[in-house]
Structure 1
Amino acid sequence: MDPLQKTSTWIGVALLALTVLILPMVLGALWIKVLTSAAIFALAASGVALVYAQLGLINLAQIALIGVGGWIALRLNYATDLPVTLLVIIAGGLTGVIGALFALPALRMRGLYLALVTLMVAALAQIFFNAFQFPNGGEGFWGVAQKSADAVRRPGFAQSDTAYFRYVMIALGVAFMLIGLHKSSAPGRAWAMIRQSEANAMAAGINVTFFKLWAFALSGFLAGTSGALLAGALGQLDARSFLAGEGILLFALAVVGGVFSWLGAIVAGLLYKLLPAIFNDLGLSADIAMIIFGAALMHAIMTAPEGIAGQIMGAFKKGGSDD
């Protein structure tokens, strides 16, 4: 492990410890909820970043897959008595399978065409959510009833908003370790060869289709886990939270944050949820954040291809070399 990677790892450990142990002691209830949502969307953004960084493929359906994971988690929540953590994992796993199936027809596409296909998938999911809504404890397969929905269960040790925030942060840390394990093992090496040249990868005996599906499945798993955690954070889900256009925004913010580092996903989650909340708290329109997002994206494209995280890590590397 090179010094920059070691620095990144220790920063991650310190940041996780800070957020889990200290932030809940100094922040109010509103900001704990905002940061919980930011962490959940950072988890989803890490899946978008994984596919783009490792394979150079654009996935605009991540928001839709968050909704799919949330739908599955809600249905299981009302239909079973499974432990919540197991329910979250199952929702993630099933969403990963669905994400891989959605990606199957698009595996021969790249660039704009792949982006359009994944955006179409997101639009179809939006239609589904609008038509059938999210389960709220009703009867039948859809589980929808014309009544007030019961709150979604949380783990027994994470009933309060503060405890649930810590639960989500631990889940985020585990997800980052899972991604790191993939990058440093056989899938990561296969993805690197595929990104460099699919023809050379096939000549080396790598099953290109399998490893592409693996990346999309892992990204879908992270999205589904995010959806299940979001259901627990909000108590219920609404179709208006999973608009197709939000997938474009999440991908753009992942690029702004930096797709090559776990820190970039955190930056993306904070920009997506924390920045609009700050504007609202100041009495300003949250739409101002969109202007900032656009300017940040232009900056990332033209001068900072590794995003804000890359600039931060570069500053640490430069500081270390000056010592």
Structure 2
Amino acid sequence: MNRVLFPLLTLILALAVLPIVLSALWVKVVTSAAIFALAAAGVSVVFAQLGLINLSQIALVGVGGWIGLRLNYATELPFTFNLAIAGMITAAIGAILALPALRMRGLYLALVTLMAAGAFQILFNAFQFPNGGTGFWGVAQQSAGEVRRPALAGSDVGYLRYTIVVVAASFGLVALHRITAPGRAWAMIRQSEANAMAAGINVTFYKFWAFALSGLLAGIAGALLAGALGQLDARTFLASDGILLFALAVVGGAYSWVGAVIAGLLFKLLPALFNDFGLSADIALVIFGAALLHAIMTAPRGIAGQLQSAFSRRQA
């Protein structure tokens, strides 16, 4: 019962309270944090379910943002349709990134996905993001318009609520996978691929499925980010940030949606707090490094796992 009631209460409180208590600046920061929590959930799908490291998630968020912007300027489709299309195309790209995972794991897979993120970073720098121009790339010297938001989410507060609902629905999709056939197959593959194949599980298919689901979440996050910011920049999707997002997914807790939320808050909220206090946002990197060491040495299930253990002990 708690597994259903707690997420539901959290969603209601977020929708009702956050837009009221936050200033205009922090509404934008929390919106970005929620979006990157969704991206972190995609990292967690691959890592928690298969034990594989994917460092290209930030790059896929950029791809989703590029597609969302291109559809916004090239078509008259509603924002939610653009969101879905961006997610599906990025899911296909994510599935392609599963090809190296069929033959390698650990450091080698991490390096390959990091190289893929670097390649996307070069493309973003070279071609930039669409802003209403002509041609395939859609880039003009001056922006030709704005990103259309849903009718009920035209304001920043409304868009925060819209983002929270989309992120919550995406978390629900991940939870559904974990308790159904894909989740059972992933658990067996993580334990032993040989045993999984002996049990008749199509290891190749389910690896593709996990990477596609991760890409879907990244694509949705990218299109949401395009709607939140109005225009994207190549510097937002550095390959190094893919490493940081993975590290924060581990720190937050890769085995729970709470961990993804914590990762998103750490990724965007903590640097913004330091800036607000007049301090360098780079201080956050020192804290992230210490937190990662703590997670690796004493808390493999991350902050979310520690909170869950503390709550269980208090209940007992």
Query: TM exceeds 0.5?
Result: yes
> What is residue 256 of structure 1 aligned with on the other side?
251
Mapped contact 1:32–1:162 kept (Cα < 8 A): yes
> What is residue 102 of structure 2 aligned with on the other side?
107
**1:160 Cα deviation (Å)?**
0.2
> What is residue 223 of structure 2 aligned with on the other side?
228
> What is residue 128 of structure 2 aligned with on the other side?
133
> What is residue 154 of structure 1 aligned with on the other side?
149
Q: Which amino acid aligns with 1:139?
A: T
Mapped contact 2:133–2:143 kept (Cα < 8 A): no
Local SS of the residue matching 1:236: coil
**1:10 Cα deviation (Å)?**
2.4
> What is residue 284 of structure 1 aligned with on the other side?
279
> What is residue 13 of structure 1 aligned with on the other side?
8
Range 248-257 or range 81-90, more displaced:
81-90
**1:268 Cα deviation (Å)?**
0.1
Residues 295 and 8 (structure 1), Cα distance of their counterparts in 2 relative to 1, 3 Å cut: farther
* In the alignment, structure 1 residue 310 sits paired with structure 2 residue 310: no
TM-score w.r.t. the length of structure 2 is 0.98
CA RMSD of aligned residues (A): 0.9
Q: Which amino acid aligns with 1:316?
A: F
**1:271 Cα deviation (Å)?**
0.2
Mapped contact 2:58–2:218 kept (Cα < 8 A): yes
> What is residue 25 of structure 1 aligned with on the other side?
20
Range 103-112 or range 302-311, more displaced:
103-112
Alignment equivalent of 1:301, drawn from 290, 296, 299:
296
Range 29-38 or range 311-320, more displaced:
311-320
Alignment equivalent of 2:138, drawn from 131, 143, 160:
143
Alignment equivalent of 1:119, drawn from 100, 110, 114:
114
Alignment equivalent of 1:219, drawn from 214, 221, 241:
214
Cα-to-partner distance string for 1:21-42 (whole Å, 9 max, x where unaligned): 1111111000110000000000
Alignment equivalent of 1:176, drawn from 171, 189, 196:
171
**1:8 Cα deviation (Å)?**
4.1
* In the alignment, structure 1 residue 42 sits paired with structure 2 residue 37: yes
**1:149 Cα deviation (Å)?**
4.4
**1:7 Cα deviation (Å)?**
2.9
Mapped contact 2:100–2:109 kept (Cα < 8 A): no
Mapped contact 1:149–1:236 kept (Cα < 8 A): no
Mapped contact 1:158–1:167 kept (Cα < 8 A): yes
Local SS of the residue matching 1:153: coil
Local SS of the residue matching 1:253: helix
> What is residue 165 of structure 1 aligned with on the other side?
160
> What is residue 46 of structure 2 aligned with on the other side?
51
Q: 2 CA distance for matches of 1:89 and 1:313?
A: 33
Q: 1 CA distance for matches of 2:48 and 2:300?
A: 11
Q: 2 CA distance for matches of 1:182 and 1:43?
A: 15
Local SS of the residue matching 1:50: helix
> What is residue 89 of structure 2 aligned with on the other side?
94
Cα-to-partner distance string for 1:188-237 (whole Å, 9 max, x where unaligned): 01001100100010011111010000000000000000000000000010
Q: 2 CA distance for matches of 1:20 and 1:281?
A: 24
TM-score w.r.t. the length of structure 1 is 0.96
Q: Which amino acid aligns with 2:90?
A: T
Percent identical among aligned pairs is: 70
Q: 1 CA distance for matches of 2:225 and 2:287?
A: 25
Unmatched runs of 5 consecutive residues or more in structure 1: 1-5
Range 102-111 or range 223-232, more displaced:
102-111
* In the alignment, structure 1 residue 71 sits paired with structure 2 residue 47: no
Q: Which amino acid aligns with 1:289?
A: A
Unmatched runs of 5 consecutive residues or more in structure 2: none
Q: Which amino acid aligns with 1:186?
A: A
Give the number of equivalent residue pairs.
Answer: 316
> What is residue 83 of structure 1 aligned with on the other side?
78
Q: 1 CA distance for matches of 2:272 and 2:307?
A: 24
* In the alignment, structure 1 residue 241 sits paired with structure 2 residue 236: yes
> What is residue 186 of structure 1 aligned with on the other side?
181
> What is residue 3 of structure 1 aligned with on the other side?
none
Range 14-23 or range 142-151, more displaced:
142-151
**1:9 Cα deviation (Å)?**
3.3
